[in-house]
Amino acid sequence: MGRIAAVKNDLHIERYHENVGFFGLFESERDEATARALFDVAGAWLAARGLDTMRGPASFSLNEECGLLVDGFDGPPKVMMPYNPPWYQQLVERYGFVKAKDLLAYFVADAKPSERMIRLADKLRERYRITVRTLDTKRFWDEVAIVREVYNEAWQENWGHLPMTDAELTYMAKQLKPVVDPSLVVFAEIDGKIAGFGLALPDLNVALKRMNGRLFPVGLVKALWYSREIDTARVLILGVLEKYRRSGVAELLELELLRNGPARGITNAEFSWILEDNWMMRGPLEKLGANVYRTYRMYDVSTASGRDA
């Protein structure tokens, strides 16, 4: 038993000029023959459309859940992050997939900013005239437009990045609006102009697992009740426009999120995911005391693999 999706992303082909397709939504029993059959059919579908490389997992793009968990299986997955058994790595690699890029998750427990961090932040704030504010829910869709502007510019040089379309962002914003905490969405401005933003979500998985897959009649009540147990947030987006980098904006956004969390019972933070070679983000996180605790891997294989077997 198993499932797989094959994805031809025209935006990726147009941006990167490479014949790469994707696989995602991958699930398989612990059987190499089953996994091979799934990869064969996905690869054949992509090859029939002129694509010579299959990359993944990406469900459906790098703007959504992606990566195969290869290290850090202790504990449950955080909100909107994938999870798979350890033996999935064997199924994937025995088919012939090779590493394309690792995506890292950082974790910091008891995430309280130190006095030294606060003093440094105050100096940066004054030196570069940085102001940090939280989400204005009365202007929600105006704020979403700002998010799109920063996201599409700040990440444009990142490996595999694709600009988020209006339709994608509208869909994601509608999904997140009921659960987003305004104090965990922060914007940095310099001289009144947007410089960067950060978005954290309380780890809703803690409450959702108590529902046992049922919304009614008491599932929703359980979710609301057990949401009081949430002590971790996932920082899923934190980006700074290029011209404002190295000015302390990223550090101030991180600091603001760490400051605002405890009032909501949030004392731990996961920062995910971050490209393994993105030291512009990794450096500040490690200065905060965060450590890599999970690794997700993107893989490539030739779409001819199944036909050559």
Q: List the end-to-end C-alpha distance of the chain, in Å, as a whole number.
A: 21
**pLDDT values of the chain reduced to their tens digit, one per residue, 309 residues:** 999 999 999 999 999 999 999 999 999 999 999 999 999 999 999 999 999 999 999 988 888 899 999 999 998 889 889 999 999 999 999 999 999 999 999 999 886 777 777 787 788 788 889 999 999 999 999 999 999 999 999 998 899 998 888 888 899 899 888 888 999 999 999 998 999 999 999 887 766 665 555 544 544 444 443 455 688 899 999 999 999 988 889 888 988 888 888 888 888 999 999 999 998 889 888 888 899 999 999 999 999 876 565
Looking at residue 60, the DSSP 8-state letter turns out to be S
Taken in order 65, 71, 73, 78, is the CA torsion positive or negative?
A: negative
* Interacting residues of 249 by C-beta distance below 8 A, sequence separation 6+: 128, 130, 188, 190, 195, 196, 240
Supply the pTM of this predicted model: 0.90
Q: What span, in angstroms and rounded, lies between the C-alpha atoms of 105 and 291?
A: 8
Q: Which helix (H) or strand (E) holds 157?
A: none
The confidence score (pLDDT) of residue 102 equals 98
Phi, psi of 143 (to 5 degrees): -65, -40
Q: What are the structure tokens assigned to 52, written together? A: 């010579």
Distance CA(244)–CA(270), nearest Å, equals 24
Helices 32-47 and 88-95: angle between axes, nearest 10 degrees: 50
Residue 305 is given by DSSP the state H
Read off φ and ψ for residue 58, nearest 5 degrees. Answer: -145, 120
The CA-based dihedral angle spanning residues 55, 166, 106, 102, taken in that order and rounded to the nearest 10 degrees: 10
Residue 263, pLDDT score: 83
Residue 234 pairs with which residues in a beta bridge?
A: 201, 270
